[in-house]
Amino acid sequence: MIGRPSVPRSGWHPATVVANTPETTTAARLELDVDGWPGNAAGQHLDVRLTAPDGYTATRSYSIASAGPATGDTTRVVLAVDRVPDGEVSPFLVDVARAGDRFEVHGPLGAFFVWQPAAAGVAASAGDGEADAAGGPDAAGGPDAAGGPVAAATRPVQLIAGGSGVVPFVAMAQAHADAADATPFRLLYSVRTPADVFFAPEFERLAAASAPFRLDLVYTREAPAGWPTPPARITREALAEAVLPTSDAPLVYVCGSTGFVERVASWLIELGHDARAIRTERFGGT
Amino acid sequence: MQHLDGNALAGALAEFFSFDVTTAIARCNGCGAVDEFARAIVFTSPAGTVVRCNSCDHVLATLVESGDRAWLGFSGVSAIEVRRG
Amino acid sequence: MSFITRGFGGRSRERDDRLPPGQTLVHDFPVLSAGPTPEVDTAEWELRIVTEGATHRWNWDEFNALPHEDVNTDIHCVTHWSKLGTSWRGVSLDTLFENVESQFDFVMAHSYGGYTTNVPLDELLDGQAWVVTEFDGEPLDPEHGGPARLIVPHLYFWKSAKWVRSLVMMPRDDPGFWEQNGYHIHGDPWQEERYW
Ligand SMILES: Cc1cc2nc3c(=O)[nH]c(=O)nc-3n(C[C@H](O)[C@H](O)[C@H](O)COP(=O)(O)OP(=O)(O)OC[C@H]3O[C@@H](n4cnc5c(N)ncnc54)[C@H](O)[C@@H]3O)c2cc1C
Ligand SMILES: [Zn+2]
């Protein structure tokens, strides 16, 4: 199939918690061993289903932080879950789940919010009408006017995350580094305080890897000592400065709470980014 | 009230279809827009899920789930395009 | 292949003898809406009853001049929660239908925002339904259906159309929005008429 990343087939699998470790002041990293996991592409998510003793079930979606080769040769899956106060599922996953606990997962899910290196054979956007945006507006207006594959793998990638919205991006950046892909990658990451950065050591390593990757952090409540700008919510102007310019025609992925994604996406449009080149993943909330 | 992207419905829709419907392209009956399902606006509530067109807010699809039964409505979609493998 | 997850209970599910089958008690007031909350300015608000021959209209001031009643009632949501002793204030449908003539036996309630729900007329009269503008002594929040919503407490709560704008008489019991998409045409909680 041309035009979409080929992703492994989804299914329900039993998952066992291997480790639950603090990730930030409010979040945990959950390492799972998923029986029969077929692998996943970077950016995909899965649905977790918890069952109570009386048969009551609750299902929630979580992005997958691990980007093991999509070949099914590993059953290890990493999630990072932020505690939503008074939530039904996230406080359980962060505070209660411990090694040996089991629940069901359905995945890997979604072929839309995915990035794959050129080496994977299918470019991130070939044939879906985004690749041609670099050359000019999509005349037909439809999402599929471009037709066959284009050399879009080198189309620069701008990732924009708020809080736990960075989870799918650590997988994308890891896939990019693992493939030593030459595509320019930039991540703009908004967090409350230095203690709220997810995957800090991983991002440090990724920035040092050979694949071009740059992390720009924005602190909204409290910045590290000596940080050049005072903590503040991201503004349209700050966004314009920190993201790849429209002249680079980047593919832009935005992920985080619904309110964050909405603000950022509308600013990107105002700044002249092509709506078809923007992909969003809203996590809910406000 | 929460709203998400069509992409978030990948799991729920996988219960009905053997392919990933979120990357299929749907035509909105309200305004004629042709777009990927993943880009639609999804309103979730325990009562049911409503998928709306991101151009005109028209209701494209509904999903009601209850235990071992579920109801999927495509009242606002005139056709979907599915890629052959 | 479902198996129980150690330590997971979900939100507490409190049972009570006064509740219909399959319901549990809540003390807060969950918001259920599957679309953007319509913003309806009372200056432009209008309630209509539409029959085969006429349209009856009330603007906000005219509606507020009608006799109001306090309503104390239990409500039951199809998503398994019930709330006991809720208090509302509004106008009985007996008052609104006083001068309405129609041969038709069924009503489609239409909301600002586009939703519809169907109810037989004889289940809206005789003190069974109200159009309310207050909850707990306060003006009704937009997210709970303000400025005005229908309440039909003896049916599941989705029949209590939020942001109600018109009641249209119809010859058959045509299904409304959710009723076309899986919900029961009637919706009696004591009969557990949740879905088709
Ligand atoms: C595709 C997708 C991927 C996701 N990936 C992740 C992830 O990697 N990590 C992660 O931590 N979460 C992720 N989420 C969010 C996650 O699915 C849950 O919504 C979140 O964990 C809250 O669930 P809960 O049961 O604890 O809260 P609920 O009991 O569902 O909600 C309790 C209250 O919190 C509000 N609320 C719900 N979700 C959020 C939210 N995300 N932020 C703030 N308030 C909220 C609700 O409106 C409600 O009032 C993802 C969501 C989607 C759709
Ligand atoms: Zn439309």
* Together in a domain, A91 and A203: no
Using the Cβ of A259 and the Cβ atoms of chain B, whether some distance falls under 8 Å is answered with no
The total of other beta-carbon atoms located within 10 Å of residue C127's CB is 10
- pLDDT score recorded for residue B68: 85
d(CA A123, CA A149): 8
CATH of the domain at A100: 2.40.30.10
User: Do A76 and A173 share a structural domain?
Assistant: no
Q: Say what the ipTM of the complex is.
A: 0.95
Give the range of the structural domain holding residue C144, as residue numbers without chain letter. 22-28+43-191
Q: Which residues pair with C59 in a beta bridge?
A: C46
Residue A274: is its pLDDT beyond 60? yes
Q: Is residue A6 part of a domain?
A: no
Question: What is the structure's pLDDT at A45?
Answer: 98
Sign of CA dihedral A89, A93, A97, A101: positive
Tell whether A143 is covered by a domain: yes
Instruction: Let me know whether A202 and A150 are in one domain.
Output: yes
Q: How confident is the model at residue A4 (pLDDT cuts 50, 70, 90)?
A: low
pLDDT for A244: 97
In this structure, chain A runs to a length of: 286
What pLDDT shows up at residue C155? 98
CA–CA dist A146, A138 (Å, integer)? 8
The whole-number pLDDT of residue A123 equals 40
Q: H helices within C53-109, ranges in order?
A: 60-65, 93-96
Residue C6 buriedness (CB in 10 A; 0-12 / 13-18 / 19+): middle
Q: Are A93 and A25 in the same domain?
A: yes
Check which CATH number belongs to the domain holding C48 and give it. 3.90.420.10
Between CA B26 and CA B53 the distance in angstroms is 10
Copy the structure tokens of residue C57.
Answer: 């209209």
For residue B14, give the chain A residue with the closest CA: A10
In a domain, A26, yes or no: yes
What is the span of the domain harbouring residue A135?
A: 128-283
- Determine the pLDDT at residue A129: 39
Ligand having the closest approach to the CA of A168: 1
Which pLDDT value is given to residue C11?
83
Residue A192 within any structural domain of the chain: yes
- Can you say whether the dihedral through the CA atoms of C140, C143, C147, C151 is positive or negative? negative
**Ion ligand 2 nearby residues (CB, 5 A):** B 28, 30-31, 33, 53, 55-56, 58
Q: Which residues of B touch C178 (CB under 8 A)?
A: 47-48, 62, 64
In Å, what is the CA distance from C5 to each residue of A51, A80, C14, C17?
6, 19, 20, 29
Partner residue opposite B23 with nearest CB, options A4, A61, A258? A4
**Is C11 a domain residue?**
no
- Residue C17, in any domain of the structure: no
pLDDT tens-digit map of C135-153? 999 999 999 999 999 999 9
Single out the residue of C7, A156, A128 nearest to residue B81, CA to CA.
A128
Tell me if A101 and C9 make a contact (CB, 8 A cut-off): no
C-alpha closest to that of B3 among A285, A40, A44, C117? A285
Q: Is the CB of A86 under 6 A from ligand 1?
A: yes
Residues A31 and A79 in one domain: yes
pLDDT of residue C18: 86
Q: How many domains does chain C fold into?
A: 1
Mean pLDDT to the nearest integer, A71-85: 90
pLDDT score of A147 more than 60:
no
With respect to residue A121, please indicate whether it lies within any of the assigned structural domains: no
Q: pLDDT tens digits, residue range C54-89?
A: 999 999 999 999 999 999 999 999 999 999 999 999
pLDDT tier, A134 (very low <50, low <70, confident <90, very high otherwise): very low
Task: Based on the fold, state whether residues A88 and A137 are members of the same structural domain.
Answer: no
Tell which atom from ligand 1 comes closest to the C-alpha of A81: 11
Distance, in Å, from the CA atom of A67 to the CA atom of A96, rounded to the nearest integer, reads 26
The two tokens of residue A101 are: 């606990």
Whether A122 maps to a domain, the answer reads no
- What are the start-end ranges of the H helices in A67-161? 90-91
Mean pLDDT computed over A119-135: 42
Q: Are residues A62 and A195 in the same domain?
A: no
Question: Cα–chain-centroid distance for residue C188?
Answer: 13
Give the largest Cα separation in chain B, rounded: 37
Query: Per the domain annotation, does C140 fall within a domain?
Result: yes
Q: Which of A97-111, B64-78, C24-38, C124-138 has the lowest mean pLDDT?
A: C24-38
CB-nearest partner of A51 from C2, C11, C13 = C2
Ligand (nearest to CA of A114): 1
Q: Which chains pack against B, by 3+ Cβ pairs within 8 A?
A: A, C
> Count of A–C CB contacts within 8 Å?
44
Phi, psi of A218, deg, nearest 5: -120, 125
Q: Note the pLDDT tens digit of each residue in A255-272.
A: 999 999 999 999 999 999
Give the pLDDT confidence score for residue C30 in this predicted structure.
Answer: 79
Average pLDDT over chain C, rounded to an integer: 95
Q: DSSP string spanning B24-78?
A: SEEEETTT--EEEGGGSEEEEETTEEEEE-TTT--EEEEEEEETTEEEEE-TTEE
Chosen from B43, B50, B69, B75 to mutate, greatest number of chain C CBs within 10 A: B50
Per-residue pLDDT band at C12 (split at 50, 70, 90):
confident
**C156 in any annotated domain:** yes
Looking at residue A2, what is its pLDDT?
39
A96 in contact with ligand 1, CB cutoff 6 A: no
Please tell me whether residues A91 and A138 are part of one structural domain: no
Q: Establish if A33 belongs to a structural domain.
A: yes
A103 and A148 in a common domain: no
Within a domain: A236: yes
The whole-number average pLDDT for the span C30-41 is 84
Which-ligand-closest: CA of B32? 2
Confidence of residue C1 (pLDDT cuts 50, 70, 90): low
Is the CB of C7 less than 8 angstroms away from the CB of A96?
A: yes
Residue nearest to atom 14 of ligand 1 (CA): A283
Q: Do the domain assignments include residue C59?
A: yes
Mean pLDDT of chain A: 87
Distance CA B9, CA B84 (A): 21
A132 and A102 assigned to the same domain: no
Confidence class of residue C31 from pLDDT cuts 50, 70 and 90?
confident
Distance CA(C26)–CA(A151), nearest Å, equals 56
Q: What is the pLDDT of residue A120?
A: 58
Q: What average pLDDT does range A69-87 have in this prediction?
A: 87
pLDDT value at residue A125: 41
Q: Which of residues A136 and A80 earns the better pLDDT score?
A: A80
Cβ-defined contacts of C120-123 (< 8 Å, 24+): C120/C173, C121/C97, C121/C169, C123/C152, C123/C154, C123/C155
Lowest model confidence (mean pLDDT) among A144-158, A173-187, C168-182: A144-158
* Whether the CB of A267 sits within 6 Å of ligand 1: no
User: What does the longest C-alpha to C-alpha distance in chain A come to?
Assistant: 58
Question: CA A208, CA A194: separation in Å to the nearest integer?
Answer: 20
Say which residues have a Cβ less than 8 Å from residue B64's Cβ, sequence separation at least 6: B47, B48, B49, B70, B71, C178, C181, C182, C183, C195
B28-83 pLDDT per residue, tens: 999 999 999 999 999 998 889 999 999 999 999 999 998 889 999 999 999 999 87
Q: Does residue A218 sit in helix, strand or coil?
A: strand
- Beta A251-256 vs A278-282: how paired, if at all? parallel
Give me the numbers of helices (H) and strands (E) for chain C, helices first please: 3, 11
For residues A199 and A259, state if they share a domain: yes
Q: Are residues A101 and A136 in the same domain?
A: no
When divided into structural domains, chain A yields a total of 2
H or E segment to which residue B13 belongs? helix B10-14
A33 is written with which tokens? Answer: 């061993």
